[in-house]
Amino acid sequence: MSVIVHKYGGTSMGSIERIKNVARRVAKWHSAGYKVVVVPSAMSGETNRLLNMAKEITPLPHERELDMLASTGEQASSALLAMALLAEGIPARSYTGWQLPIYTDNSHTKARIISIDHKKILDNLNDGKVVVVTGFQGINENGDITTLGRGGSDTSAVAIAAVLKAKECLIYTDVDGVYTTDPRIVSEARRMSTVSFEEMMEMSSLGSKVLQIRSVEFAGKYRVPTRVLSSLTDPLIPLEEEMISGTLINFEEDKEMESAVVSGIAFSNNESRITLLDVPDTPGIASSILTPVADANIDVDMIVQNQSVDGNTDFSFTINHVDFQRTVNLLKDVVIPAVKARDLAIEEKVAKVSIVGLGMKSHVGVASTMFKTLAKEGVNIKMISTSEIKTSIIIDIKYMELAVRSLHHVFGLDAK
Amino acid sequence: MSVIVHKYGGTSMGSIERIKNVARRVAKWHSAGYKVVVVPSAMSGETNRLLNMAKEITPLPHERELDMLASTGEQASSALLAMALLAEGIPARSYTGWQLPIYTDNSHTKARIISIDHKKILDNLNDGKVVVVTGFQGINENGDITTLGRGGSDTSAVAIAAVLKAKECLIYTDVDGVYTTDPRIVSEARRMSTVSFEEMMEMSSLGSKVLQIRSVEFAGKYRVPTRVLSSLTDPLIPLEEEMISGTLINFEEDKEMESAVVSGIAFSNNESRITLLDVPDTPGIASSILTPVADANIDVDMIVQNQSVDGNTDFSFTINHVDFQRTVNLLKDVVIPAVKARDLAIEEKVAKVSIVGLGMKSHVGVASTMFKTLAKEGVNIKMISTSEIKTSIIIDIKYMELAVRSLHHVFGLDAK
């Protein structure tokens, strides 16, 4: 019988009652003959509780110890889920990342999976057991615990589905699929029954919180059929109904080429913009600025370098807000003295709004429609970045919701 | 320089501020040149929080999964302490039981340590680092996480001190030493500056909560100088003062032979008494009753078999209340049908009070003084058990405090 991987997010595991519901749902699949591997996140709020304690200890906790701490959340929820399954009469066993093991690189707090030893999983599946595997974590070559970063349990689940060649990876979450944009902001947002891999990649990278981008990368690389669906339905709904619910990530893009020009709008209010002022504009300046940042494992997103005036230029880039303080310190201590910039201008919190669609490849004027719409609403654009299937802009946080709603309407995404 | 092992209990680790204080205290020892290994318990309340969630899932959670769950408490507190040390500028590194590893047997929730691989500890100590090791846990031969039972972090600390041949194992706790009895019950209780190993063994086995008995066994077997002292003093008090505070467990009993006849009174309100009624009194009956109980890893404490009447006898024993339900189920399902007992009489909660003293070896009439004192107070004795240096009785819970106070006074233990 087929292997199927279930992943449950923090909200789905958010209380004892919900964990019992997860167990009932998994039991249903197990009883239908599937070989089920379950990857739970930490109970909602738990990871924040742990990280807040760390921050109370010290503003910049040691990252190896931070992983040691944060990984306990998934270990606890995995044990609770295995108990709940056993209490339902389903043979089950939980494993941590180090017990399998799941090997990662050494980048604490944002490690990447290198390999997964699936022997214990297979042995237990063949033995008729449900296998619960902690999401979000692994070990590095030294035997230290590593974590995969926020949302890393999605990546764990898809990677496990890949090595097991699972029939499908079901990402159960507190929404019932992927929407044209966040329905909490735009009530007219529509659920898509399928979304192309490329669009999903852009949506994830742009801050749509449905799936972590690395999980989508894994899904794409290993062509893992991945479905986002709700964990809040009755756990005992018929299997046939559950199997076609949610949104399936689709690898056959050609079929859908004639679809909407823009298929979704992603946004994030968790960006920081940093500008180095009056940098002498010499060859290699971008590399001199960004190499130390990359070496510190800080992801730079959008980059803009202005026209040079009198041999000096302003150099701006955005990062995730989580890296803000670390980046500012690095720039002040290392980069500014090295590149002889005059000063630093910072905007600690800005918003990013992006339109995404495969159809943008073959249609001109999409970005222009975007800019015109925002101009009409009086929204000032601070930065622009474009790729084949998306256009992103940075704006003031206070305009974010207005921008998303207008664009959702203009590009014909509102539900009928 | 000497190796020293510190162990901090849940109360000592009970808040971020207290963890910072632990770090300051450890830093003081490290700066004085000691090679320090620290074994922290879970933050107070954390283990109960985890076990309560398990009980909400199911009344009898699977024990392998229970260990997977419970072990996260110490992992989190160890990581937090390592962070706090690093934030104090002290090089430090935390390790879980599986990372060293600490090998145990397979008895989930009450495993015994088999061996400790101390290579990583020594390497880090020689490298100038403080090593934080999670208490309470290890792994079995299958690589499953095991826990050592309540108070197991004491055992972890003493066992680590033993393999490292540490100068001393310092058990930091929320009391400032071992008392003649619990000062919360008897305000006249006195702190002992030393206590013999034998007395400490009896005190621990009898429910005095200062040290887990297996830690005292380890201390005795490997002659680990072990001191119980307060973690609530100013962490920066002079080292010389701290080094002679608390109560030291003394292995040279002869010195103290002329000391008090009774040196301490231990008690516990966490016992259950179970009686099998009208058991046919055939040879081997005790073994038929107790072997299945021992096989289920349930510790039987006191045992009484009555005089046989018409070939039938009543057979009573006491156990820790934590095993009560499991024991009753086992007796009903397995033992009663096998030994043809008529019925079961249970007292779910009774109290045990014990007088302990090396001097009892050479003095007669001590038990008799105990019984006379209780009779005068109108306390009915339900069971009696004696050994060379202790006499224990089972009584109604409601008389426990009265009994302890009277005995403390009669045996001259009250502080002047």
Q: Say yes or no for a CB contact (<8 Å) between A98 and B94.
A: no
Query: Per the domain annotation, does B188 fall within a domain?
Result: yes
B112 and B71 together in one domain: yes
Query: Per the domain annotation, does A416 fall within a domain?
Result: no
Residues of A in contact with B65 (CB under 8 A): 79-80, 82-83, 86, 94
Could you read off the pLDDT of A302-322 as tens digits, one per residue? Answer: 888 877 778 888 999 999 999
pLDDT at A150: 76
How many domains in chain A? 2
Report the mean per-residue pLDDT for chain B: 91
Pick from A53, A78, A98 the residue to mutate for testing the B interface (most B CBs within 10 Å).
A53
d(CA A210, CA A172): 10
**Closest CA of chain B from A23, distance in Å:** 10
Query: Per the domain annotation, does B229 fall within a domain?
Result: yes
The mean per-residue pLDDT over the stretch B264-278 comes to: 92
CA dihedral angle for residue A95, residue A97, residue A102, residue A107, rounded to 10 degrees: 170
CB-nearest to A84 from B19, B57, B80 is B57
B218 and B300 together in one domain: no
Helix axes B46-57, A16-31, angle to 10 degrees: 40
Percent of chain B with pLDDT over 90: 69
CATH number of the domain bearing residue A137: 3.40.1160.10
The mean per-residue pLDDT over the stretch B274-280 comes to: 92
> Per-residue b/e over B380-411, b at no fewer than 16 CB within 10 Å?
ebbbebeeebbbbbbbeeebbbbbbbbbbebb
- Full residue range of the structural domain in which residue B136 is found: 3-254
A282 and A242 together in one domain: no
Query: Per the domain annotation, does B416 fall within a domain?
Result: no
Domain edge (last residue) among A256, A280, A315: A256
A52-61, A191-200, B16-25, B319-328, range with the lowest pLDDT:
A191-200
pLDDT at A108: 96
pLDDT at A282: 84
**Residue A140 — very low, low, confident or very high, per pLDDT cuts 50/70/90?**
very high
Name the residue with higher pLDDT: A363 or A229.
Answer: A229
CATH number of the domain bearing residue A313: 3.30.2130.10
pLDDT at A201: 84
Residues of B in contact with A50 (CB under 8 A): 76
Could you read off the pLDDT of A267-281 as tens digits, one per residue? Answer: 989 999 999 999 988
Interface of A with B (CB under 8 A): 16, 19-20, 50, 53-54, 56-58, 61-62, 64-66, 68-69, 71-73, 75-76, 78-80, 82-84, 86-87, 93-94, 96, 98-99, 143-145
Interface of B with A (CB under 8 A): 16, 19-20, 50, 53-54, 56-58, 61-62, 64-66, 68-69, 71-73, 75-76, 78-80, 82-84, 86-87, 93-94, 96, 98-99, 143-145
CB-nearest to A80 from B20, B57, B98 is B57
B244 and B284 together in one domain: no
CB-nearest to B54 from A68, A72, A83 is A83
d(CA B155, CA B162): 10
Query: Per the domain annotation, does B105 fall within a domain?
Result: yes
Pick from A52, A53, A68, A120 the residue to mutate for testing the B interface (most B CBs within 10 Å).
A68
pLDDT at A330: 94
Could you read off the pLDDT of B214-251 as tens digits, one per residue? Answer: 888 889 889 999 999 999 899 999 999 999 999 999 88
Closest-approach residue (CA) in chain B for A51: B80
pLDDT at A75: 98
B165 to A19, A301, B59, B168: CA distances (angstroms): 46, 54, 42, 8
pLDDT at B140: 97
Residues of A in contact with B50 (CB under 8 A): 76
pLDDT at A251: 80
B123 and B158 together in one domain: yes
Report the mean per-residue pLDDT for chain A: 91
B243 and B308 together in one domain: no
Domain edge (last residue) among A256, A278, A311: A256
pTM (two decimals): 0.78
B299 and B243 together in one domain: no
The mean per-residue pLDDT over the stretch B115-119 comes to: 97
The mean per-residue pLDDT over the stretch A68-95 comes to: 98
B294 and B405 together in one domain: yes
d(CA B370, CA B372): 6
A172-176, B200-204, B339-343, range with the lowest pLDDT:
B200-204
**Residue A107 — very low, low, confident or very high, per pLDDT cuts 50/70/90?**
very high
pLDDT at B209: 67
Please count the residue pairs, one from chain A and one from chain B, whose beta carbons lie less than 8 angstroms apart. 108
pLDDT at A41: 95
The mean per-residue pLDDT over the stretch A338-365 comes to: 88
- In the predicted structure, residue A256 carries a pLDDT above the cut 90: no
Residues of B in contact with A56 (CB under 8 A): 16
- In the predicted structure, residue B255 carries a pLDDT above the cut 70: no
Q: Say yes or no for a CB contact (<8 Å) between A99 and B66.
A: no
pLDDT at A254: 52
Letter for the amino acid at B209? K
**Residue A257 — very low, low, confident or very high, per pLDDT cuts 50/70/90?**
very low
**Closest CA of chain B from A326, distance in Å:** 16
Is B178 assigned a ligand-binding role in the annotation?
no
Could you read off the pLDDT of B332-365 as tens digits, one per residue? Answer: 999 999 999 999 999 999 999 999 988 787 777 8
Query: Per the domain annotation, does B259 fall within a domain?
Result: no
Query: Per the domain annotation, does B346 fall within a domain?
Result: yes
Residues of A in contact with B71 (CB under 8 A): 75
- In the predicted structure, residue A230 carries a pLDDT above the cut 80: yes
Percent of chain A with pLDDT over 90: 69
Top mean pLDDT of A184-188, A388-392, B407-411 is at B407-411
pLDDT at A78: 98
B204 and B323 together in one domain: no
Closest-approach residue (CA) in chain A for B101: A143
The mean per-residue pLDDT over the stretch A50-69 comes to: 97
Q: Say yes or no for a CB contact (<8 Å) between A16 and B53.
A: yes
pLDDT at A365: 81
CB-nearest to B80 from A53, A73, A75 is A53
pLDDT at B396: 95
Is B47 assigned a ligand-binding role in the annotation?
yes
Could you read off the pLDDT of B286-310 as tens digits, one per residue? Answer: 888 999 998 998 988 888 887 777 8
**Closest CA of chain B from A16, distance in Å:** 6
Name the residue with higher pLDDT: B59 or B204.
Answer: B59
Q: Say yes or no for a CB contact (<8 Å) between B80 and A19.
A: no
**Closest CA of chain A from B161, distance in Å:** 23
A114 and A229 together in one domain: yes
Pick from A15, A52, A58 the residue to mutate for testing the B interface (most B CBs within 10 Å).
A58
Is B88 assigned a ligand-binding role in the annotation?
no
Residues with Cβ within 8 Å of residue B38, at least 6 apart in sequence: B5, B6, B7, B8, B22, B26, B81, B130, B131, B132, B133
The mean per-residue pLDDT over the stretch A136-161 comes to: 94
Q: What is the DSSP letter of A380?
A: P
Domain edge (last residue) among A236, A256, A276: A256
B357 and B271 together in one domain: yes
Name the residue with higher pLDDT: B165 or A307.
Answer: B165
A325 and A390 together in one domain: yes
Closest residue by Cα to residue B94 from A367, A63, A327: A63
- In the predicted structure, residue A265 carries a pLDDT above the cut 60: yes
- In the predicted structure, residue A253 carries a pLDDT above the cut 80: no
CA B342 remoteness from chain centre: 36
The enclosing H or E element of A372 equals: helix A366-376
A53 to A170, A374, B131, B232: CA distances (angstroms): 32, 42, 21, 21
**Residue A207 — very low, low, confident or very high, per pLDDT cuts 50/70/90?**
low
